[in-house]
Structure 1
Amino acid sequence: MIVTLIVICEVGFWVLLAAGLALRYVARMPRTGAAVLLMEPLLEVVLLVVTAIDLKNGAEPGTVHGLAAVYIGFTLAMGHRAIKWADARVSHRFFGGPPPVAPPKYGMARAVNEWKVAGRWVLAAAIALGLLQAAIWYVGGDGEVGSLRTWQHRMLVLAGINVVIAGAYTLFPKKAPAGAAPVEAEGPRSFTKL
């Protein structure tokens, strides 16, 4: 049941995103489009409540409960960025908006961008870790919580990898090829969803 709900929430995210952008650009109703986009966090609340009810009803905490916490953490930390990413591309491609700003590729501007990306991943991991720990406490000492602890470990590793990548770009900044024009660092608009 939880896996199905996670899939429904993911599909719902993209449906709400498409509906919000269609209302904003096609129907020329930007406030209504923004209201639809603001409904997206309700999906995470539903997933959290259903997961808690499932555990309350005696379900053994398993991989799917951990996955639900990770999904919520990821969406809360990265969802806004995904919406901005899609909005910039739809605006440019179909409605004559300015081209999206590419993230910097070289130097300290790239390092700063990598730290921003790492910060979002660390936030996602922190939210997931908090939800996973709450589930562990909720189940108590009597339940099997090994799978939840495994997800905690995975999130720590994921956050650590992103910090190491950002640190590498800080310590060893990538140099621009000879003759390349310097790139000004405006706010990056890239987004990668794993």
Structure 2
Amino acid sequence: MNLVAWTIVVCEIGFWVVILLGLLIRYMFKREKLGLFFLALTPVIDLVLLIVTAVDLYNGATANRFHALSAIYLGVSIAFGKSMIRWTDERFLYYVKKQGTKPIRKTGMDYAYHSMKGSILHLLAYAIGAIIIVAMIYFIDDTTRTKVLSGTLELWLFILGIDFAISISYFIWQRPKKEK
């Protein structure tokens, strides 16, 4: 694995570490501001990944799947970051602190709308990632070094279409309630 691949791994681990630290400090040690500080570090992790990727390409590296993955990671992190933190926060409160209400499994139209909201966030992630990928292609200005990036955009767009098709299907075939 190359530098960008390892940076992605470290950033993903770092993302969850700062979230868990933020929640632990916030709820277990009752230090609201310090906990919020750790939660606010998630964009810094994204910035580190962006810098490492840009420097690697600037130094003449041929774009590979890890450079493309870094753009995907950044798009997903920015688009879904707030909802991932909220999801973790709710579960931490209920399962660890034994406070709040139990997270409810969505069904029917509630789940269909929830799924469509996720698809719209996926579209936002795609837009952010695509802007980063197109910027990489533009600044490198060498199609032989950026072929992987173009292919990634096409594949991701196909996956995005599948995501929307699945979300639309939930409006037709709704998710049933689980029998106890």
Question: TM-score w.r.t. structure 2 length?
Answer: 0.90
- Stretches (4+) displaced over 4 A: none
1:17-166 superposed matches below 5 A: 17-106=19-108, 108-141=109-142, 143-166=144-167
- Cα deviation, 1:73-127, whole Å, max 9, x if unaligned, reads 1111112211111111111112232224324211x32221111111111111111
Match of 2:10 in 1: 8
CA contact (8 A) 1:66 1:132 kept: yes
> Counterpart of 1:156 in structure 2: which amino acid?
L
Identical columns (%): 30
Give the gaps of 5 or more residues in structure 1.
181-194
Aligned residues: 176
Give the gaps of 5 or more residues in structure 2.
none
> Counterpart of 1:138 in structure 2: which amino acid?
F
CA contact (8 A) 2:111 2:175 kept: no
User: SS of 2:145's equivalent?
Assistant: coil
Structure in which a larger fraction of residues adopt helix: 2
Separation of aligned partners in 2, 1:49 and 1:114: 33
Once the 2 structures are TM-superposed, how far is the Cα of residue 143 of structure 1 from its aligned partner? 4.3
Match of 1:186 in 2: none
Coordinate RMSD, CA, aligned: 1.7
Separation of aligned partners in 2, 1:44 and 1:86: 19
CA contact (8 A) 1:111 1:173 kept: no
> Counterpart of 1:32 in structure 2: which amino acid?
L
